[in-house]
């Protein structure tokens, strides 16, 4: 199969240059030398598109002519970042492009920086979806994404006087280079109005009255597999007014209201608000996606084959946002295709699978029944019928309490996780601990009812992006030591461990890290004006800003280091680097940002500490910035309150780039420790039983800890004693939060253990050889978190897919 063949159609430098010149000549009537960066970028995109267009078409054909089962990954977020370099890499053209450009004195990285990030996601969940798309194509599976083409991506974060400000992210301004509008594949989506059931030749059929029709227009983006020719599709839907409805919306304002459906990405990633527009977005891409799947299916296989839909189609529900897939597929099968309810239900359950990404109660989606019914009058009837039959199926078999707790409709709310679980054959968590907590705590009732449905799929990352693209020098060192096979099969990376005692390799590893740190130091200087020493420890915490992720614990550590240095207690030189976006309405998170920025100002400008500590908060953390920060990291901060971080994925990216992890035993950190061994990670903190014991016994009293530990007291007091200028209010807010008995994230409880882990890290840093050895072990074992492997497990155990076969040479 293709996934196993390494071949691809190659082009030489000479041909690449000819293509570049002809593109620029034809489109802009200019030579490569005259062309602007943007024009060269556009020409490169066009060359890449020519490179995959026939593969894209042939993948579609191969997938249907061989009756291939396909998975459709429904996600309200996709966060691919930029695509030029990854498409070049996957086509096998990266080095050719670099060389060709160099012959004109141009630098590919510089040209590639003209591409705006495709930031149609908030963080982990969206990035995971994008990683899975890359891996599906690269492992040779027929897998497509289905989502929303937001007009504005995740807002741009700016700091003004240390406060977060949000600016619109108009990423389509220059036109999206990669998308193809597929007008002819448009489908209608209906909202509101009333339904009457009428008897049509013996079949009760809904008649819709007075609804609004929105036209869903798909934009397709190619997903190019790594050296295998397989090219899948990410289909993103845009809302428009159907031509036949133009007269209904004569005013621009009315038009805009319809089109606004896909304007903005909701910027919250943890707490959810029952907003009507969000519900509309969810139904919009679910209905459009499923209609398009069924339209294709019927065209290819005919209506009679619908009963066998699960042989051809898997639909994956990424978190509860697309959970309506369950009800919408039932609606389409029963109302439109006139399939008998029981048969439709069997088909639906076999088609659907669901991933849970959180155990936090406030993130669980529940919609007001009245609102839901007004917006989706037929869908709510179907959900009520699913709920009724669910209750009926369990009555007399299990206790009434269990039925009440697990049913879909409770207290006049529609419980989306319950809909997803009841309607799917598979429910998975995203790391071993997370799945275990789902089974024993959060979804315990369901686990006892349907144990076979539950399984774990630990997250993964795109090593191609995070090593091959972001850290080419490390990639080259791997090539020079273990050969190039690791680029196709990450298992090979384990061989890198054989160089544990190889002084030359260790020195090379250190040199590469130093080089990456110098590059980042320049970025830091350009963006913030702060000078940092590349020889210092680069201590990195990059992730969304959230109380449970505990950027505040890092902040207390920074204050403690600063106080030590002021008091003449020495520490190795350290640069603490933060990257974090806060949801605009998340007051506490924004206060944390302000305090960190104020501390950065204080520390970076205090001559008394002689530059031994620097604090840098880089604005607007996104995929492209991550590609610059992560290869330069020495320390990876993964310090969430145990049980709260479902998996984490920055932990994996940082380890793959040789950073050593300071970690609580939460999410995938546990599996990182299992992979590298406890001697190659700085583990600390409360374990899950201790955390749950605090919650159960209500015996967390942070004030006692504060009163009894003078070091802790001193660090916390810095927040309110005037040490930090210009943030009295925010400092007080953090102080009060830390000391409250209802502080759920147990920051002070982990402080002492955290200091100890950091002390260990400092001691290790003094032994450069040992540090490099630990780093090497981390790189070698990052193969365990290769998203290709994760996808293989989804494909085999949940979706039941076979790889596609096409000829890569054409
Ligand atoms: C829901 C309703 C309304 C508005 C917004 C939302 C919303 C949007 C995004 C809720 C949650 C999210 C994103 C969650 C997320 O990113 N979770 C992370 O998923 C990663 C991939 O599995 C894990 O590694 C992280 O641990 C988890 O926090």
DSSP string, 15-65: HHHHHHHHHHHHHHS--TTT--HHHHHHHHHHHHHHHHHHHHHHHHHHHHH
595 alpha carbon – ligand 1 mean position (Å): 25
Whether 290 and 332 have beta carbons less than 8 Å apart is answered as yes
Q: How confident is the model at residue 806 (pLDDT cuts 50, 70, 90)?
A: low
270 alpha carbon – ligand 1 mean position (Å): 6
DSSP string, 84-106: HHHHHHHHT-HHHHHHHHHTTT-
183 alpha carbon – ligand 1 mean position (Å): 31
375 alpha carbon – ligand 1 mean position (Å): 25
Residue owning the nearest CA to atom 15 of ligand 1:
125
Residue owning the nearest CA to atom 12 of ligand 1:
269
268 within ligand 1 shell (Cβ under 6 A) = yes
Stronger pLDDT, 360 or 46, i.e. the higher one = 46
The share of the chain scoring above pLDDT 70, in percent, equals 98
Q: Are the folds of 67-82+117-459 and 516-785 the same? A: yes
Whether 16 and 93 have beta carbons less than 8 Å apart is answered as yes
Mutate which of 124, 150, 417 for ligand 1? The one with the most ligand atoms within 8 Å of its CB, which is 124
Residue owning the nearest CA to atom 9 of ligand 1:
269
631 within ligand 1 shell (Cβ under 6 A) = no
543 within ligand 1 shell (Cβ under 6 A) = no
Nearest to 47 by CA among 94, 6, 2: 94
269 within ligand 1 shell (Cβ under 6 A) = yes
Residue owning the nearest CA to atom 3 of ligand 1:
272
357 alpha carbon – ligand 1 mean position (Å): 6
pLDDT tens digits for 468-492?
999 999 999 999 999 999 999 999 9
Where do the H-state alpha helices sit in 536-682? Answer: 551-566, 587-604, 623-629, 650-656, 669-676
230 within ligand 1 shell (Cβ under 6 A) = no
319 alpha carbon – ligand 1 mean position (Å): 8
Whether 762 and 571 have beta carbons less than 8 Å apart is answered as yes
Question: For 71-100, what is the mean pLDDT?
Answer: 98
Residue owning the nearest CA to atom 8 of ligand 1:
269
| Dihedral Cα 344, 347, 350, 352, nearest 10 deg | -60
282 within ligand 1 shell (Cβ under 6 A) = no
Question: For 45-51, what is the mean pLDDT?
Answer: 96
Question: For 427-440, what is the mean pLDDT?
Answer: 98
Residue 364's pLDDT is 87
Q: How confident is the model at residue 176 (pLDDT cuts 50, 70, 90)?
A: confident
For the whole model, what pTM was predicted? 0.97
pLDDT tens digits for 551-608?
999 999 999 999 999 999 999 999 999 999 999 999 999 999 999 999 999 999 999 9
Q: How far apart (Å, rounded) are the C-alpha atoms in residues 564 and 567? A: 5
457 alpha carbon – ligand 1 mean position (Å): 16
622 within ligand 1 shell (Cβ under 6 A) = no
Residue owning the nearest CA to atom 4 of ligand 1:
272
363 within ligand 1 shell (Cβ under 6 A) = yes
Question: Given a cut of 90, is residue 67 above it in pLDDT?
Answer: no
648 within ligand 1 shell (Cβ under 6 A) = yes
667 within ligand 1 shell (Cβ under 6 A) = yes
DSSP string, 484-543: SGGGT-GGGGGGGGGGTT-HHHHHHHHHHHHHHHHHHHHHHHHHH-----TTSEEEEEES
Question: For 61-78, what is the mean pLDDT?
Answer: 88
In angstroms, the Cα distances linking 678 to 322, 498, 675, 757 are: 39, 19, 9, 12
Q: What angle do CA 60, 127, 757 make, to 5 degrees?
A: 145
323 within ligand 1 shell (Cβ under 6 A) = no
Question: For 340-350, what is the mean pLDDT?
Answer: 98
pLDDT tens digits for 3-42?
333 345 689 999 999 999 999 988 777 888 889 999 999 9
599 alpha carbon – ligand 1 mean position (Å): 29
Residue 269's pLDDT is 80
Residue owning the nearest CA to atom 1 of ligand 1:
272
Which ligand 1 atom sits closest to the C-alpha of 434? 26
Residue 548's pLDDT is 97
461 alpha carbon – ligand 1 mean position (Å): 16
pLDDT tens digits for 723-781?
999 999 999 999 999 999 999 999 999 999 999 999 999 999 999 999 999 999 999 99
422 alpha carbon – ligand 1 mean position (Å): 21
Question: For 212-226, what is the mean pLDDT?
Answer: 96
Mutate which of 269, 355, 420, 647 for ligand 1? The one with the most ligand atoms within 8 Å of its CB, which is 269
* Superfamily the domain 67-82+117-459 falls into: Glycogen Phosphorylase B; (3.40.50.2000)
Residues carrying an active site annotation? 357, 543-544, 549, 649, 653
- The residue assigned the tokens 């309810």 is 341
668 within ligand 1 shell (Cβ under 6 A) = no
Which ligand 1 atom sits closest to the C-alpha of 128? 21
Q: Where are the domains of the chain?
A: 67-82+117-459, 516-785
586 within ligand 1 shell (Cβ under 6 A) = no
Which ligand 1 atom sits closest to the C-alpha of 273? 3
544 within ligand 1 shell (Cβ under 6 A) = no
128 within ligand 1 shell (Cβ under 6 A) = yes
444 alpha carbon – ligand 1 mean position (Å): 21
171 within ligand 1 shell (Cβ under 6 A) = no
pLDDT tens digits for 249-302?
889 999 999 999 999 999 988 777 779 999 999 999 999 999 999 999 999 999
281 within ligand 1 shell (Cβ under 6 A) = no
Q: How far apart (Å, rounded) are the C-alpha atoms in residues 136 and 143? A: 6
123 alpha carbon – ligand 1 mean position (Å): 7
Residue owning the nearest CA to atom 20 of ligand 1:
124
369 within ligand 1 shell (Cβ under 6 A) = no
Mutate which of 147, 154, 270, 459 for ligand 1? The one with the most ligand atoms within 8 Å of its CB, which is 270
458 within ligand 1 shell (Cβ under 6 A) = no
322 within ligand 1 shell (Cβ under 6 A) = no
Helix (H) or strand (E) holding 810: none
Question: Given a cut of 90, is residue 613 above it in pLDDT?
Answer: yes
- Between 53-62, 73-82, 522-531, 789-798, the lowest mean confidence (pLDDT) is in 53-62
Which ligand 1 atom sits closest to the C-alpha of 459? 22
* Superfamily the domain 516-785 falls into: Glycogen Phosphorylase B; (3.40.50.2000)
75 within ligand 1 shell (Cβ under 6 A) = no
Question: For 584, phi and psi rounded to 5 degrees?
Answer: -55, -30
What is the rounded average pLDDT for all residues in the chain? 95
Going through 258-402 in order, the beta strands assigned E by DSSP cover: 313-318, 352-355, 366-368
116 alpha carbon – ligand 1 mean position (Å): 23
Question: For 461-472, what is the mean pLDDT?
Answer: 98
Residue owning the nearest CA to atom 24 of ligand 1:
648
Residue 31's pLDDT is 86
Question: Given a cut of 50, is residue 699 above it in pLDDT?
Answer: yes
ipTM: 0.96
Residue owning the nearest CA to atom 10 of ligand 1:
269
Nearest to 656 by CA among 676, 677, 682, 642: 676
Mutate which of 79, 128, 154, 357 for ligand 1? The one with the most ligand atoms within 8 Å of its CB, which is 357
Which ligand 1 atom sits closest to the C-alpha of 649? 24
Question: Given a cut of 70, is residue 659 above it in pLDDT?
Answer: yes
342 alpha carbon – ligand 1 mean position (Å): 33
Residue 4's pLDDT is 34
317 alpha carbon – ligand 1 mean position (Å): 13
- The residue assigned the tokens 């040779």 is 140
Q: Which two tokens stand for residue 656?
A: 């793959």
Whether 576 and 615 have beta carbons less than 8 Å apart is answered as yes
């Amino acid at each position: 199969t293709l996934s196993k063949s390494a071949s691809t159609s190659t082009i030489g430098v000479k041909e690449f240059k000819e293509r570049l010149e002809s593109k620029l000549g034809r489109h802009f009537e200019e030579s490569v030398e005259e062309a602007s960066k943007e024009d060269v970028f556009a020409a490169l995109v066009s060359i890449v598109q020519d490179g995959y267009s026939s593969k894209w078409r042939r993948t579609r054909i191969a997938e249907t002519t061989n009756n291939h089962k396909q998975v459709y990954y429904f996600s309200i977020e996709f966060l691919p970042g930029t695509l030029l370099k990854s498409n070049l890499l996957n086509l096998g053209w990266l080095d050719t492009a670099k060389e060709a450009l160099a012959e004109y004195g141009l630098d590919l990285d510089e040209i590639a920086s003209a591409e705006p990030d495709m930031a149609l996601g908030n963080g982990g969940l969206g990035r995971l979806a994008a990683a899975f798309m890359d891996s599906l194509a690269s492992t040779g599976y027929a897998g497509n994404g289905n989502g929303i083409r937001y007009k504005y991506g995740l807002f741009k974060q700016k700091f003004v006087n240390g406060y977060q400000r949000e600016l619109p992210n108009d990423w389509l301004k220059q036109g999206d280079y990669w998308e193809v509008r597929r007008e002819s594949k448009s489908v209608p989506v209906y909202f509101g109005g009333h339904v009457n059931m009428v008897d049509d030749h013996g079949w009760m059929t809904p008649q819709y009255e007075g609804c609004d029709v929105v036209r869903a227009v798909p934009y397709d983006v190619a997903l190019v597999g790594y050296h295998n020719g397989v090219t899948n599709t990410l289909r993103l839907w845009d809302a428009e007014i159907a031509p036949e409805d133009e007269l209904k919306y004569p005013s621009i304002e009315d038009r805009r209201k319809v089109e606004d459906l896909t304007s903005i990405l909701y910027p919250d990633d943890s707490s959810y608000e029952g907003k009507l527009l969000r519900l509309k977005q969810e139904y919009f891409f679910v209905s459009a996606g499923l209609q398009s799947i069924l339209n294709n299916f019927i065209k290819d296989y005919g209506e009679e084959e619908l009963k066998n839909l699960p042989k051809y189609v898997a639909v994956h529900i990424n978190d509860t946002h697309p959970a309506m897939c369950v009800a919408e597929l039932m609606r389409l099968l029963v109302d439109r295709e006139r399939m008998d309810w029981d048969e439709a239900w069997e088909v639906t359950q076999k088609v659907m699978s669901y991933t849970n990404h959180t155990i936090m109660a406030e993130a669980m989606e529940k919609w007001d029944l009245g609102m839901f019914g007004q917006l989706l009058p037929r869908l709510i009837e179907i959900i009520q019928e699913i709920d009724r039959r669910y209750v009926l199926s369990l009555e007399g078999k299990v206790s009434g309490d269990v039925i009440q707790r697990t049913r879909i409709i409770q207290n006049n709310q529609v419980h989306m996780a319950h809909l997803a679980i009841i309607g799917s054959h598979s429910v998975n968590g995203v790391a071993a601990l997370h799945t275990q907590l789902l089974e024993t705590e959060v979804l315990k009732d369901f686990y006892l009812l349907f144990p076979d449905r539950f399984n774990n799929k630990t997250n993964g990352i795109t090593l191609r992006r995070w090593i091959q693209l972001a850290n080419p020098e490390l990639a080259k060192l791997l090539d020079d030591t273990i050969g190039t096979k690791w680029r196709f099969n990450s298992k090979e990376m384990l061989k890198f461990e054989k160089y544990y005692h190889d002084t030359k390799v260790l020195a090379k590893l250190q040199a590469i890290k130093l080089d990456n740190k110098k590059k980042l130091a320049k970025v830091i200087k350009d963006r913030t004006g702060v000078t940092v020493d590349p020889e210092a420890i680069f201590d990195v915490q990059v992730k969304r800003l959230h109380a449970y992720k505990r950027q505040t614990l890092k902040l207390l550590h920074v204050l403690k280091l600063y106080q030590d240095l002021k008091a003449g207690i020495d520490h190795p030189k350290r640069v603490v680097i933060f990257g974090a976006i806060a949801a605009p309405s998340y007051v506490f998170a924004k206060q944390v940002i302000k305090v960190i920025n104020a501390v950065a100002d204080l520390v970076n400008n205090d001559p008394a500490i002689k530059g031994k500590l620097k604090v840098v908060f880089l604005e607007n953390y996104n995929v492209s910035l991550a590609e610059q920060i992560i290869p330069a990291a020495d320390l990876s901060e993964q310090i969430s309150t145990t049980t709260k971080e479902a998996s984490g994925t920055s932990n994996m990216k940082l380890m793959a780039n040789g950073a050593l992890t300071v970690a609580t035993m939460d999410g995938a950190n546990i599996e990182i420790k299992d992979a590298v061994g406890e001697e190659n990670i700085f583990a600390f903190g409360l374990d899950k039983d201790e955390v749950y014991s605090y919650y159960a016994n209500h015996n967390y009293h942070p004030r006692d800890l504060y009163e009894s530990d003078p070091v802790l007291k001193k660090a916390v007091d810095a927040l309110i004693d005037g040490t930090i200028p210009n943030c009295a209010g925010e400092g007080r807010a953090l102080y009060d939060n830390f000391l409250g008995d209802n502080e759920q994230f147990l920051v002070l409880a982990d402080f002492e253990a955290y200091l100890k882990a950091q002390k260990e890290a400092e001691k290790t840093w003094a032994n450069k050889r040992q540090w490099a050895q630990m780093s090497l072990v981390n790189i070698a074992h990052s193969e365990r978190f290769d998203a290709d492997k994760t996808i293989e497990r989804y494909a085999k155990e949940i979706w039941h897919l076979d790889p596609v076969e096409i000829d890569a040479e054409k």
